[in-house]
Structure 1
Amino acid sequence: MMSNRRGRVEEFTAEYYGVCAAGGMLSAGATHLAITPLDVLKVNMQVNPVKYSGILSGFSTLCREEGASALWRGWSGKLFGYGVQGGCRFGLYEYFKKIYGDQLEDQSKGVIFFLSSASAQIFADVALCPFEAVKVRVQTQSSFAKGLVDGFPKLYANEGLYGFYKGLLPLWGRNLPFSMVMFTTFEHSVEMMYRKIIQRKREDCSKAQQLGVTCLAGYAAGAVGSVISNPADNIVSSLYNKKAATVMQAVKNIGLANLFTRSLPVRIAIVGPVVTLQWFFYDSIKMLNGLPTSGGLRRHLKDAELLGYEAAP
């Protein structure tokens, strides 16, 4: 554990988890806001694949029929919803990774990463779900609402509390596999780059090199996670836009092959850079607080030697 130096946050304290949650909130909210136009196109491609059949033609159709401002519909849901989700996802991941790492001493690192990311994502999606329900409708139904302020009361009036959470199960179906694969891929990518490519301890690398490792591992994590979670992402959009009443009906309507391929190119275009930037901002915030960049389990001696921190007894 880091010494409690002046101006630095001590790891595994309440302040540490607060920094992680704040870093996750700022990084996720800002990056998701920036790619709102791509998200608007993605959702419309999922809901109306005939009309929005490609990325360039889809943008052209949206701008021609609804104006350039249509590309920013749902921006508030992206900023606040994914900000809250990011705070829970990153902050709780660090918390659960320490808890499971200490309690499950006989388990492999991969098991710890899977359990930690899944536990964090369960809470993160409960926080995200109401924002996502409003956002998807705003993006695909131009007459529904302008944003969160008028969208929340309208959705509640029309569908009650159930309307905010009817997509929670498919949201878990999308985000749990994504989060588990994303965090595990990131962790193993960081380890591989320090061990096989750089062949130096993290503390012996410059800040730029450490953030470079973070970005490369983040992109790999985002790309792999996109492929895994694409079927559930299509189901979520179908349910929220009343194209189907149940998950099974949505699967039948979309088709098994289309679940994996529909909107996948635009999702990879969105998720890869977004996850990369999230990890970059997140680790930058940690470094500003005197914390090491992300990656590794403290109870593993090899991790401690590789990443440059004191091994747990």
Structure 2
Amino acid sequence: MPENSSRQALIPNYLYSTSTKNSFDLEKYSNGIRTFPSSSSGSTTVPYSVVAASPNEPGRKIQMYSPSYFAACTVGGSLCCGITHMAVTPLDLVKCNMQIDPAKYKSISSGFGVLYREQGVRGFFRGWAPTLLGYSAQGACKYGFYEFFKKYYSDLAGPENAVKYKTLIYLAGSASAEVIADVALCPMEAVKVRVQTQPGFARGLTDGLPKIIRAEGYGGLYKGLVPLWGRQIPYTMMKFTSFETIVENIYKHVTPKPKDECSKSMQLSVSVAGGYIAGVLCAIVSHPADNLVSFLNNAKDATVADVVKKMGVVGLFTRGLPLRIFMIGTLSAAQWGIYDAFKVFVGLPSTGGAPPLPTPCPELMKA
């Protein structure tokens, strides 16, 4: 990386090196405005960065915000989303059927009973393959691009505005990432919903995907893209922004020590707790769109107006909601736990919560 671009980065590389050059004592500074020595004016006051930094960790080899860093976040996102969504396939299966046929699938318990009587234990995992592939691709894009856009928008805003408008940066970064992620997810989501809710349509991915293409062309795989954006973009904006805020406040008001003094197990526990709370909020915000996606992927010629007419406005907001709250809360907690565990495993800091390190102006580093 050229020297000038390194100096202009929002979190300069020197903060993560073991070199003593341009070093300073972090214990002298508390959250808020920092003051740095300057050769021309004695001292200069600058705000700290919105992007949480990491203390040096033994054995860490990945440089923050390098291509390797974003690649690691992409792999972590793929793992956490693919594994967890596949694990909750039975819950997702009951939820989708409750949305499509509430007369038959009246409740969570009766829904599991109906599936077991009609399809046996194997029926609980119908659609696992498109779920695994679709959400692995979505998770890779969601987490990888979120980290990229969060850094990119912070650089555009500059250190002071990045701190002042950090919530807007979280929202913009997560929304931008999800637009891309849903393009990767949509084909597998279309297959998954039909396999799970249309008995006899297909056994799984290998016969379901070509069947849709033959009947409706490749456009049939993206028929639910706009409703999927309507569900997933608010969901992800709430998920990432609320998680960042919740974790920051847990470290500020709940844990007995600052993040960099907490053990790795404590940090991962905070990630899981923050993830569950964020997941509950996500489920509530995105549930109407989730109902729309399930219906539109299940009915060939249905429109949004048809769905609203059939379900009603109240049903659109409430049908299947308790199960989805439980499912998404659990899902989100597991995802953040796996994602941050992977980041810690490769030597990166867990997400959010650490008191951000100060970002001196490039001019100060020339002294």
TM-score by length of 2: 0.80
Q: 3-state SS of the aligned residue for 2:199?
A: coil
Q: Distance in 1 between matches of 2:17 and 2:107?
A: 53
Structure with greater Cα Rg: 2
Tell me whether 1:273 sits opposite 2:326 in the alignment: no
Tell me whether 63-72 or 152-161 shows the greater mean CA deviation.
63-72
Tell me whether 1:232 sits opposite 2:285 in the alignment: no
Unaligned runs of 5+ in 1: 297-306
Q: Distance in 1 between matches of 2:199 and 2:235?
A: 29
- Alignment of structure 1 residues 158-177 onto 2, 5 Å: 158-177=215-234
Q: Distance in 2 between matches of 1:280 and 1:286?
A: 10
Matched residue type, 1:2: Y
Question: What's 1:59 paired with?
Answer: 112
Question: What's 2:53 paired with?
Answer: none
Tell me whether 1:203 sits opposite 2:260 in the alignment: yes
Unaligned runs of 5+ in 2: 1-14, 19-57, 361-367
Q: 3-state SS of the aligned residue for 1:236?
A: helix
Mapped contact 2:60–2:348 kept (Cα < 8 A): no
The runs of 4+ residues in structure 1 deviating greater than 6 Å are: none
Q: Distance in 2 between matches of 1:29 and 1:166?
A: 22
Mapped contact 1:27–1:278 kept (Cα < 8 A): yes
Q: 3-state SS of the aligned residue for 1:8?
A: coil
- Against the structure 1 CA distance between its residues 221 and 244, is the aligned structure 2 distance closer, same or farther, given a 3 Å change threshold? farther
Mapped contact 2:86–2:128 kept (Cα < 8 A): yes
Deviation at 1:78, TM superposition (A): 1.2
Mapped contact 1:28–1:278 kept (Cα < 8 A): yes
Deviation at 1:6, TM superposition (A): 5.3
Relative to its length, the structure with more helix (as a share) is 1
Q: Distance in 1 between matches of 2:245 and 2:217?
A: 43
Q: What is the aligned-residue RMSD (CA, Å)?
A: 1.5
Q: Distance in 2 between matches of 1:241 and 1:68?
A: 23
- Alignment of structure 1 residues 140-155 onto 2, 5 Å: 140-155=197-212
Tell me whether 1:30 sits opposite 2:83 in the alignment: yes
Question: What's 2:100 paired with?
Answer: 47
Which residue of the other structure, out of 329, 348, 357, is the alignment partner of 1:291? 348
Question: What's 2:357 paired with?
Answer: 310
- Alignment of structure 1 residues 109-148 onto 2, 5 Å: 109-148=166-205
- Alignment of structure 1 residues 30-109 onto 2, 5 Å: 30-105=83-158, 106=161, 108-109=165-166
Cα deviation, 1:69-91, whole Å, max 9, x if unaligned, reads: 11110000111111110111111
TM-score by length of 1: 0.93
Tell me whether 1:217 sits opposite 2:271 in the alignment: no
Q: Distance in 2 between matches of 1:188 and 1:122?
A: 22
Q: Distance in 2 between matches of 1:62 and 1:85?
A: 28
Deviation at 1:243, TM superposition (A): 7.3
Deviation at 1:244, TM superposition (A): 5.9
Q: 3-state SS of the aligned residue for 2:358?
A: coil
Matched residue type, 2:331: V
Q: Distance in 1 between matches of 2:253 and 2:273?
A: 14
Tell me whether 1:3 sits opposite 2:17 in the alignment: yes
- Alignment of structure 1 residues 225-264 onto 2, 5 Å: 225-242=282-299, 245-264=302-321
Deviation at 1:240, TM superposition (A): 0.7
Q: Distance in 1 between matches of 2:266 and 2:283?
A: 26
Tell me whether 239-248 or 35-44 shows the greater mean CA deviation.
239-248
